[in-house]
Amino acid sequence: MNIETSRLMLKPVTQKYIFDIFNNFTNEVTVYMFPCPVKDISETENIVECWIKQCANKTDYVYAITLKETAEFLG
């Protein structure tokens, strides 16, 4: 399920966003977040796969936020 505003699009996280998540969720950004900051791209891949499974099982929903006009990843 996508959620749309006049400027933003929220979409369920997919493998498409792995590099964006890895590059944007730095140690500084995630210091107080769960999961802990990742060490490499393979950890990010594992986390995203877990989120995808949770969405498929309808237990948790993790969304990517992008600009509607450009599809730029924001978070």
Residue 20 lies in a domain: yes
- Predicted TM-score (pTM) of the model is 0.83
Residue 75 lies in a domain: no
| Tens digits of residue pLDDT in 10-43 | 999 999 999 999 998 888 888 787 667 788 999 9
Q: Please, what is the average pLDDT of the chain?
A: 92
Q: How far is the CA of 58 from the CAs of 1, 12, 35, 70, in angstroms? A: 12, 12, 20, 29
Percent of the chain residues topping a pLDDT of 70:
97
- Range of 34's domain? 3-67
The pLDDT of residue 31: 78
Residue 5 has pLDDT above 90, yes or no: yes
Residue 40 lies in a domain: yes
Question: How many separate domains does the chain show?
Answer: 1
Residue 30 lies in a domain: yes
Which residues pair with residue 73 across a beta bridge? Answer: 66
The pLDDT of residue 35: 63
Residue 73 lies in a domain: no
